[in-house]
Structure 1
């Protein structure tokens, strides 16, 4: 049987349909080359065209016993290959276990230079019911779904008095919901304090964390260059290096984000919001750790993942909806836990490559086709040129020379 990565896109879609992971309608949607012109025009300002990225799929990522097919929008073939390989290794050990805290988004209403914060806090406490009523009136549909404003606290930040709002956005990421509620509460609070608010806006910082963990038998991660125990020890050492080397931690975390970013983008979520939340949380520390515990290698990751499964661009982009259905992501928690698991197995594949044969051999082999296309190859020329780009001769100049030679023979 032909391996999944060896098939044509049409054959891959057909296999996913046969497996029950993809509907025929979603397969047709994913096969389309671009957005409808009206959708594109209304999703961007000053729209002049469309920017296409291929959608790959990380195969059979097992999270809490459920097998997921995770769509990934990326221009880097090694990212999808590594994610699938990491998922395969995790599956040899029972898959990834994950958990997610309740999905919340935080907004802040900020006052500058109040004469007496204690008085302000007492006023807010006295009118707490009013402020919650204002929040409900601002977005009643959120309350009907069980969401809306859940907590209101007052804190001092230097000279600023901050009313912190914790909001349940239900199935949405929640940015627009948070801003709507924050502005309504700001208007009411300004009247109560007889002073206009400095600002009322969501914060992309998040204290709600998603966790994932995988326990690996060293025998399952052996490579041609090293036995499993040696590879596991090197992975643990690389993890320790990321704890102490600020240059290494940047690359360590980038490897994790290779997978997460691609899946966030494919599902129509806000990659900038996710990056901002993770950056604020990590403070230059590694997002994952790998440790030897007894005779097992245990990988753990925790990070905030502010995403949704409805609303905004998610509901406007047919391919984002198809990606969500492909993965079975019907709740925010399911998507968050799968994203965390994806980041962890992506990290595993990268560290295993570093501990074994090195990162460049597999990476450049997958880049050969990109070099062929950059040289101008089309159609069957792409594979013909890529096949001749050996490890010692793999650059753009060589690709152009090979293409010219190929065309000269035709």
Structure 2
């Protein structure tokens, strides 16, 4: 079928959007409309709120919202909200939290909270001449021009921390940056940062145009390309860690404490040197981080991009977590760059986000950074613990069992049969199908 483009789709009503999609792409099968309507909220005001979060909304896409209890973080016992569809994530986090509960729990340290943004511009000028102009005239003007924008943030203890001129002309002809660092306190701060940067661009144009020491050719060469925050925040870092004597690392898999510690450390070391393993290793970390990020209304795409960029900061992709076993002490930690907020955005709008933040004791942005780092560390501990002992599939496939059974329309009676059947076996897709066919053939 040759589909036709549509004009003014965003201006159509929700019903007309659905009608067009069903007609154009779904062979006029109205059963798809029923699927969409099943996920509408019965409360029209709540449904309208959800629709206004995004563009061209025709339904809601639900994800399971689970709880991982028993997280002892800096002396506080918390239950973490996790919005995630992967079956083993909440279970693994909960198991890791319980493991460390009687060993002092998780300790965290906020290393820095600096966020960054840039005005990117092209100017055909000698770098030393531009640097002199920046040092003695422009920098002061930039702070002055943004005073109104930063007033409220400064009252809360934040604002623009510093502005630097960055010479990138060796990498790209005539390319410079105004690189600014910010403290946005409890907000993620994207709108605040971008507003400041856009004012930087305007002020830069005005001051260059009025600079008596610049030639007309230099003035005419200025092009402000863009003003935008960076989601790479290598100076917005939180550390989360666990530690205990190796002789307290009791594991129920049957291997000794010493062997467990040795194998665990080797697994982390492999992820530190082997990018193929590091990618999967860090993905597991972000399973835990993203689930809490989503549940608290923050931007999981930004946290993902930042974490993976940070993992590559030394020129080779590597593990975000590290492990030592010195002097009989097992220590496992993560340094996570992450920029999140607890005010603004969905935090004031989405009912479940409000619930999540209330559940966590209405944390500050720094406290949420700590919680997220702990969630990632716990997830990684749980995965590595399985990998170096029983293997990842035993626990993962048991959690996946109900997904397989639901695909084949299993009854509650059949599901209970399989819980018993796989009590001492490793779940496999093939074995589930074979046993289901056997069970149904007897009926």
**Same fold, judged at TM 0.5 (above):** yes
Question: 378, 383, 395: which is aligned to 2:429?
Answer: 395
Match of 2:82 in 1: 72
Match of 2:229 in 1: 202
Greater alpha carbon shift after TM alignment, 336-345 vs 270-279: 336-345
Greater alpha carbon shift after TM alignment, 260-269 vs 372-381: 372-381
Question: 152, 155, 159: which is aligned to 2:166?
Answer: 155
CA contact (8 A) 2:397 2:426 kept: no
Match of 1:143 in 2: 154
Q: Using the TM superposition, give the Cα deviation of residue 387 of structure 1 relative to its aligned residue in structure 2, in angstroms.
A: 4.6
Q: TM-score scaled by structure 2? A: 0.79
Q: Using the TM superposition, give the Cα deviation of residue 53 of structure 1 relative to its aligned residue in structure 2, in angstroms.
A: 0.7
Q: Using the TM superposition, give the Cα deviation of residue 72 of structure 1 relative to its aligned residue in structure 2, in angstroms.
A: 0.7
Match of 1:193 in 2: 208
CA contact (8 A) 1:114 1:161 kept: no
CA contact (8 A) 1:372 1:386 kept: no
Aligned residue runs from structure 1 range 7-156, under 5 A:
36-125=46-135, 126-156=137-167
Match of 2:370 in 1: 337
Structure 2 CA distance for aligned equivalents of residues 351 and 53 of structure 1: 26
- Summarize deviations over 1:314-344 as a string: whole Å, max 9, x none: 2221111211121224211111111111211
RMSD of aligned residue pairs (Cα, Å): 2.4
Larger Rg: 2
Structure 2 CA distance for aligned equivalents of residues 383 and 267 of structure 1: 34
Aligned residue runs from structure 1 range 295-306, under 5 A:
295-306=328-339
CA contact (8 A) 1:134 1:188 kept: yes
Q: Using the TM superposition, give the Cα deviation of residue 393 of structure 1 relative to its aligned residue in structure 2, in angstroms.
A: 6.3
CA contact (8 A) 1:388 1:402 kept: no
Aligned residue runs from structure 1 range 361-372, under 5 A:
361-372=394-405
Q: Using the TM superposition, give the Cα deviation of residue 77 of structure 1 relative to its aligned residue in structure 2, in angstroms.
A: 2.7
Unaligned runs of 5+ in 1: 1-31
Number of residues of Structure 1 aligned to a counterpart in Structure 2:
378
CA contact (8 A) 2:150 2:160 kept: no
Question: 280, 293, 306: which is aligned to 2:326?
Answer: 293
Q: TM-score scaled by structure 1? A: 0.85
CA contact (8 A) 1:151 1:165 kept: yes
Q: Using the TM superposition, give the Cα deviation of residue 84 of structure 1 relative to its aligned residue in structure 2, in angstroms.
A: 1.0
CA pair 356-385 structure 1, distance change in 2 beyond 3 A:
closer
Unaligned runs of 5+ in 2: 1-40, 210-221
CA contact (8 A) 1:274 1:306 kept: yes
- Summarize deviations over 1:126-182 as a string: whole Å, max 9, x none: 233321122222343323322221211111123311111111212111111111110
